[in-house]
A and B are shown apart, each in its own frame.
Chain A
C-alpha cells in the first residue's frame, strides 16, 4: 500500500529564513510526486511535480523540491520565506501505472513570523 508521511504538522520560520517541509513516501517503484499549497478557504494549487525527469524540480513562488530515491523523500524548500508563504502544504504521490490514484499526506501548516 502507498503512504505519504509529512513530518511536522506545524512549521514556523522567520521571514527571510529557509523553509524546509519534509515528505517521505513508501513505494517499491518511484512514483510521481507533487506538492500542493492551500490558502484558507481555498482549493489546492499545484506548486510543483516530479514525473521521472530531473530530480531537482522548480515550482512556482520560488519553491523547489528534490527527489531522492535512496531516501524515498521529496522535501520542499524555499531559500527565503515571505509572509505570503503562510499556508497549508500537502505532499502527494501517484504510483505509476495506477491510473489516476493519488495519495495525500496529512499536510503541514507553515507559519511565517515577521
Chain B
C-alpha cells in the first residue's frame, strides 16, 4: 500500500544533541513537508520541498535542517540550536493542490 512512513514514533533527545527524524513516501509525490504541532497551536510549517535537491524554509525553520536527495525521502534534523524541540512532528506529501497525505507522526521529547 502507498503511504508515508515516519520513524521513529517516539524519540528522546538529550540537551545539546542533534536528532534526525525520518520521512519516507512511496506515493511518487513531488512535494514534501514538515510540520510541528504543539497543543493549542495547530500546525506550523518548518520546511517544504517541491522537487528533489531543493527546499524552502517555512514559518519556523530556525534550529532545523532538511535534505531532499531522493524523491522518496525528506529527513528532518532537529539541531541543538532549537531551544524548545519537544513537540509532535508531522511529515506530509502532495502531488497537487488536491490534498496532503500525512504520516503518523514522531513525538520528540527532550530529557
Contact = CB atoms under 8 A, between A and B. Distances in A.
Interface of A: 9, 32, 34, 36, 41-46, 49, 51, 90, 92, 94, 96, 98-100, 102, 104-107
Contact of B99 (A46, A98, A104, A106): A46
Give the 3 A-B CB pairs with smallest separation, nearest first. Answer: A43-B102, A106-B42, A100-B31
B71 interface: no
Contact of A98 (B90, B97, B100, B102): B97
B94 A100 contact: yes
Contact of A99 (B42, B50, B90, B102): B50
Contacts of B99: 34, 46, 49
If over half of A's interface residues share one DSSP class (helix, strand or loop), that class is named, otherwise mixed; here it is loop
A19 B83 CA distance: 39
A45 B96 contact: no
Interface residues of B, number: 26
B84 interface: no
A104 B96 contact: no
B42 A104 contact: yes
B42 A90 contact: yes
B98 A43 contact: no
Interface string B68-111: 00000000000000000000101010101111111111010000
A90 B43 contact: yes
A9 B41 CA distance: 10
B40 interface: yes
Nearest to B10: A41
B90 A107 contact: no
B43 A43 contact: no
B104 A107 contact: no
Contacts of A94: 97
Contact of A43 (B40, B41, B90, B96): B90
Nearest to A96: B97
A104 B90 CA distance: 13
